[in-house]
Amino acid sequence: MTLNLASESGESDMNASVNEPRLWRDNGWTARVIKNEDDDGWAVEMVKDGEPEPALVGPWTMGRDKKNPKPLDTAAFHTLVKTASEVLRRHEQQLHAMHHKSVTVTAAGERITVTLDIVPDEDDPHAMLGAHDATGEPLARVRVAAGFKLSSASASAWIADDFRRPG
């Protein structure tokens, strides 16, 4: 089956649904059954539209002839989309956790939340250290080195130093 993805403007139409035995494209995702590089079997890769790399690559079931892959179908595609979406969500959560930290300390009888937001810029990596009172009102915000280690001790020391930029 040949699929013409060229639109009237001459650009490829990545929104067009494709439902082929080894290629499915729908709802912003593409599933492609590929030869498994590690053995004689098959694999499936899931690519989110606009992304250069697959979000998920996993083994794929052999067909009845034990040579060719089992064809993709609606149920399998929806399961693959759900799994690949979960992988991306976990990755985003992990990145967020790596770049955004917070601790809450008590200083002068007041609970203060200190946050560290790392900016992983290739040319100018840095972080922003911030403090908020119990109602969420900002108390201070300063730029620090990207390698600044936020802990209860470093937060308390920063507060005790009247929120001066740590050295």
Token duo for residue 130: 């911030």
Q: Would you say the pTM of this structure is higher than 0.75? A: no
pLDDT tens readout for residues 44-100: 999 999 999 999 999 999 988 888 999 999 999 999 999 999 999 999 999 888 899
Cα(109)–Cα(122) distance, integer angstroms: 40
Task: Read off the DSSP letter of residue 12.
Answer: B
Q: Cα Rg for the chain, rounded, in angstroms?
A: 25
CA 18/CA 28 separation, integer angstroms: 11
Are the C-beta atoms of residues 100 and 152 closer than 8 Å to each other?
no
The yes-or-no verdict on residue 110 having pLDDT over 80 is yes
CA–CA dist 21, 9 (Å, integer): 29
Task: Specify the DSSP class assigned to residue 82.
Answer: H
Name the least confident of 14-28, 75-89, 128-142. Answer: 14-28
Please list, in sequence order, all residues whose beta carbon lies within 8 angstroms of the beta carbon of residue 7, skipping any fewer than 6 positions away: 13
pLDDT tier at 15 (50, 70, 90 boundaries)? low
